[in-house]
């Protein structure tokens, strides 16, 4: 199973990815997690992306494409993978097509988790407060930027993948278990 999880920040992609990891025994490839690990490890990559991520902007396409390319070559991706937070631009989606074509593999589905933007802001701010995040007003500003970036650069991917007949849309406003059930149903129908 080779999947992309698509949806704005706070839609629950990470939570649903965890479930799919267990269900299918395939890894979750989260570029956000990989970049945060690089920042925590103070690697050259981490230093390059730290400020960009703090602002809620996107890191350059070639940087994330390089990371994903290396990751897809690892043996645990042979059986499949769940892409979480990648691709985020049409450029990245095109690069992914090339990477997969080179390996002679294709995607099975793109799961779009649909949510209401205002609800998301509340959800994410609650999550940040619970984890003892930075000042709420800082978070809100960055979050609104991330949502704008999503609308402008990532949302067009729904159209991109719809043309390839890969998109399965689920209602992300439902409870976590219900969303999981919808995803499984959508994948079973694919």
Q: Both tokens of residue 181?
A: 């059930």
Q: Which is nearer to ligand AMP, 146 or 168 (CB)?
A: 146
Q: Which is nearer to ligand AMP, 89 or 182 (CB)?
A: 89
SS (H, E, C) 33-54: HHHHHHHHCCCHHHHHHHHHHH
**Cα dihedral sign, 28-94-74-24:** positive
Does 94 qualify as catalytic in the annotation? no
Q: Give the DSSP H/E element, type plus range, for residue 109.
A: strand 109-114
Nearest distance in Å: CB 188, ligand AMP: 26
Could you say which of 3, 4, 53, 96 contacts ligand AMP (CB under 6 A)? 53
Alpha-carbon separation of residue 114 from 49, 71, 132, 172 (angstroms)? 28, 27, 27, 5
| Cross-strand partners of 184 | none
Q: Which is nearer to ligand AMP, 16 or 31 (CB)?
A: 31
Nearest distance in Å: CB 31, ligand AMP: 3
Judge contact between 183 and 170, C-beta under 8 A: yes
Site membership for ligand AMP, residue 35 (CB under 6 A): yes
Nearest distance in Å: CB 157, ligand AMP: 11
Catalytic, out of 103, 127, 144, 164:
127
Tell me the catalytic residues: 13, 88, 127, 135, 146
Q: Which residues bind ligand AMP (CB under 6 A)?
A: 9, 31-32, 35, 52-53, 56-59, 64, 85-86, 88, 92, 146
């Amino acid at each position: 199973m080779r999947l992309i999880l698509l949806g704005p920040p706070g839609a629950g992609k990470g939570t649903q990815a965890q479930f799919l990891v267990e269900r299918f025994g395939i890894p979750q490839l989260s570029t956000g997690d990989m970049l945060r690990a690089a920042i925590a490890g103070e690697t050259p990559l981490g230093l390059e992306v730290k400020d960009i991520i703090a602002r809620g902007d996107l890191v350059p396409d070639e940087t994330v494409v390089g990371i994903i390319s290396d990751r897809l070559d690892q043996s645990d991706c042979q059986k499949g993978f769940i892409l979480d937070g990648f691709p985020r631009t049409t450029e990245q989606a095109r690069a992914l097509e090339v990477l997969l074509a080179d390996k002679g593999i294709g995607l099975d589905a793109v799961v779009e988790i649909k949510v209401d933007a205002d609800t998301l802001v509340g959800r994410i701010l609650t999550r940040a407060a619970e984890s003892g995040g930075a000042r709420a007003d800082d978070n809100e500003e960055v979050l609104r930027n991330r949502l704008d970036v999503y609308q402008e650069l990532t949302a067009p991917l729904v159209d991109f993948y719809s043309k390839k007949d890969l998109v399965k849309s689920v209602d992300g406003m439902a409870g976590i278990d219900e969303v999981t059930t919808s995803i499984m149903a959508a994948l079973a129908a694919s």
